[in-house]
Amino acid sequence: MRLLTQQLKTIVVRRFASRTPRFSESTAYFGKDKMGPNRGDRRVTPGAKFEPDYYSSSSWGFKKFLSVLGSLGAVVAYFGFLSETDRSFLVNELEMTPLCQASEREPSDLDKILDTPAHILTANLERRMLREEIERERKAGRDTSLLEAKLEYVDVKEAALKLQFEKTKK
């Protein structure tokens, strides 16, 4: 047994304890002597081989272009054609065309908000905030007379804002 372990040690030492390999002998080396004939002094690196995949192909680029074009078309159709605008060019003398009837869409909440004058929006928002604060103060058992006075003052502010917005529109 002892002899066997000693023989294994000598084999391992001979195999792995030999001199360290030089860099020029390793596979990472790509020096002038490995460049091959007719290359001159030009440095050549061993870069990886290009393997094209689906996402670098021309068919993928074309599909991506069509996707962008279709998305933009949908946005233009929705906001330009399907929105509620003057469609007198689509109306016959007797009735609206089926194309115009099909393009009608219901107004959304966002349309209502955007069509509401700014003085009404700001006043309603301030009223709601003050009412919520009054409720919190009442639940806490505190005095709410100042907040109620502010709530009454919102009507005055709304009238002033209405005049201000009417002046800026003119």
The pTM of this model reads 0.36
CA 42 – CA 35 distance, rounded (Å): 9
From 26, 30, 24, select the one nearest 48 (Cα to Cα). 30
- State whether 135 and 154 are in the same domain: yes
Q: Within 10 Å of residue 26's Cβ, how many Cβ atoms? A: 8
Q: Which residues form the domain of 93?
A: 66-106
Q: Is residue 101 in some structural domain?
A: yes
Total tally of structural domains belonging to the chain:
2
Q: Is residue 19 in some structural domain?
A: no
pLDDT digits (tens, 9 = 90+) for 5-62: 777 777 766 666 666 777 777 767 766 666 655 555 555 555 566 677 888 888 899 9
The DSSP output letter for 83 is: S
CA 28 – CA 11 distance, rounded (Å): 28
CA 115 – CA 16 distance, rounded (Å): 84
- State whether 131 and 156 are in the same domain: yes
- State whether 71 and 90 are in the same domain: yes
CB 118 within 8 A of CB 162: no
